[in-house]
Amino acid sequence: MKTAVVALGKIGLPLAVQFADAGHEVIGVDINPRQVELINQATEPFPGEAHLQEKLEELVPAGRLRATTDYAEAIPGADAIVIVVPLFVNDETWEPDFDWMDAATRSFAEHITPGTLVSYETTLPVGTLRGRFVPMIEEISGLKESKDFFAVFSPERVLTGRVFEDLRKYPKLIGAMSEESTRRAREFYESALTFDERSDLPRPNGVWDLGSPEASELAKLAETTYRDVNIGLANEFALFAQQAGIDVYKVIEASNSQPYSHIHQPGIAVGGHCIPVYPRLYLSTDPDAETVRTARTLNASVPAKLVGRATELLGDLTGLKAVVLGASYRAGVKETAFSGVFPTVDELRARGAEVAVHDPFYTDDELRGFGWDPYHVGEAADLVIVQTNHPEYKDLTSSDVPGVKLIVDGRNITTAENWRGTPRLVHGDGQGSTTTTTPAA
């Protein structure tokens, strides 16, 4: 099959590689010329994706995968078009911003030829494929869905850094516009993916048809919104436990020993392209979902709440040197999408602190590019806030930050032993965590 992949980012490029590795002739389209150039040189344009570089070195020289900036080169004659263009959300209105998606849809619709399967993998609000993109394609191309082209919503369900593993692990959901569109979508994905055996699933792992685009759209929103709501509940417990002198981590461990409790871990922030975004996409079509709205609002408030707690313990932060450990939104990745570093830095600055940021994945110049002063371990500071649970931070000690007066651990990764002599506030641990611990005589 000739397959075109629209947008070669951290999900789109591994998908293109997966399709090519399965035997498809793949051409990817991206608006970034440098991205296209690197891919055609068989060079991964971003670090951290397992097995991506070695697969590029195999597939690109063999002519099984190439990239272009030209839709007219990639789209005509394609058996399948897979769209993985980012969909953004307005931070103020919480409404979806379709600009990039609309532009990509218009661009490929100008060149689509009859018989093509069109699969949207970008997470969408319920009703978007049927109500927005199919009419747009029909109007621009003059073709009719389920007659001349075949539309399906099939959400990506992978995490960056382990895309190829996740493609094997999780069922591939599809929701198409007609029986023929469903047949073609199933045929395409079964030709492109292989699946791990999983005895824990109610039916065999593989391509799962949900019966409609709307059901498939909701499934992706539901699985990610569940996590945000669950983390919101965990953060609610953590904030209470902090005040009540309770270790919430012991409480969660005990609660989850019963098979009907699955409480997630609290944290200073919920970041990434998915969990902070998709609940707002859900709310765009179900504005009365108060549980979802409350959880999203609570999770977004935790950085300010922890900085506020630090202010209570230290007094006025004006002129104090504060260090935020971690720019990435989660451990082990170089990615700041909706990272908690942004609200944490903003809140510290609003309270008068002089802020520096450290992250092992970022150079000093890259940190400065975000508008932050870089911090180097060994430099003096008054306040430390752990924002990302990078493993490197587990071994830090109070001696690594001369003059430190307080550490706020938003990820429960530090130890009291390493921070002897320094007041230590762990989000969710209220059992004397801010009491100064001194070495035994």
* pLDDT, tens only, 177-191: 999 999 999 999 999
Reference 426, options 256, 232, 246, 252; nearest CA is 246
Q: What is the pLDDT at residue 432?
A: 57
Contact between 388 and 344 under an 8 Å Cβ cutoff? The reply is: no
Is the domain defined by 2-210 classed in CATH 3.30.110.30?
no
Structure tokens at 418: 């390493």
Q: What is the pLDDT at residue 433?
A: 56
- Whose tokens are 């998606």? That residue is 101
Contact between 119 and 188 under an 8 Å Cβ cutoff? The reply is: yes
Whether residue 78 is predicted with pLDDT greater than 80 in this model: the reply is yes
Convert the pLDDT of each residue in 134-145 to its tens digit.
999 999 999 999
Outline where 158-258 has alpha helix (H): 163-169, 179-192, 213-244, 248-255
**What is the SS3 assignment for 224?**
helix
Cα angle value 185/189/195 (rounded, 5°): 140
Answer yes or no: 220 catalytic.
yes
Q: What is the pLDDT at residue 437?
A: 43
Answer yes or no: 274 catalytic.
yes
Q: What is the average pLDDT score of the chain?
A: 96
Task: Say which CATH superfamily domain 212-441 falls into.
Answer: NAD(P)-binding Rossmann-like Domain (3.40.50.720)
User: Kind and range of the H or E element at 148?
Assistant: none
* Terminal C-alpha separation, the chain: 73
User: Kind and range of the H or E element at 4?
Assistant: strand 2-6
- Which sequence spans correspond to the domains of the chain? 2-210, 212-441
Confidence at 107, pLDDT banded by 50, 70, 90: very high
Confidence at 434, pLDDT banded by 50, 70, 90: low
Cα angle value 262/295/331 (rounded, 5°): 65
- For helices 134-141 and 99-109, the axis angle rounded to 10 degrees is 40
Q: What is the pLDDT at residue 441?
A: 32
Same fold, 2-210 and 212-441: yes
What is the rounded average pLDDT of the residues 135-157? 98
Convert the pLDDT of each residue in 239-269 to its tens digit.
999 999 999 999 999 999 999 999 999 999 9
Picking from 33-37, 91-95, 167-171, 225-229, which range would have the lowest pLDDT averaged per residue? 91-95
Confidence at 430, pLDDT banded by 50, 70, 90: confident
Whether residue 435 is predicted with pLDDT greater than 90 in this model: the reply is no
Whether residue 438 is predicted with pLDDT greater than 50 in this model: the reply is no
Confidence at 48, pLDDT banded by 50, 70, 90: confident
Picking from 48-57, 108-117, 429-438, which range would have the lowest pLDDT averaged per residue? 429-438
Whether residue 440 is predicted with pLDDT greater than 80 in this model: the reply is no
DSSP 323-392: EEE--SSSTT----TT-THHHHHHHHHHTT-EEEEE-TTS-HHHHHHTT-EE--TTS--SEEEE-S--GG
CA distances from 413 to 233, 424, 438 (A): 20, 12, 20
Confidence at 321, pLDDT banded by 50, 70, 90: very high
* Strand arrangement of the beta sheet that strand 116-120 belongs to: 65-68, 25-29, 2-6, 80-83, 116-120, 149-153, 172-176, 207-209
From 10, 55, 172, 220, active-site residue: 220
Convert the pLDDT of each residue in 340-399 to its tens digit.
999 999 999 999 999 999 999 999 999 999 999 999 999 999 999 999 999 999 999 999
Reference 280, options 85, 87, 83; nearest CA is 87
From 10, 55, 172, 274, active-site residue: 274
pTM of the model: 0.91
Q: What is the pLDDT at residue 344?
A: 98
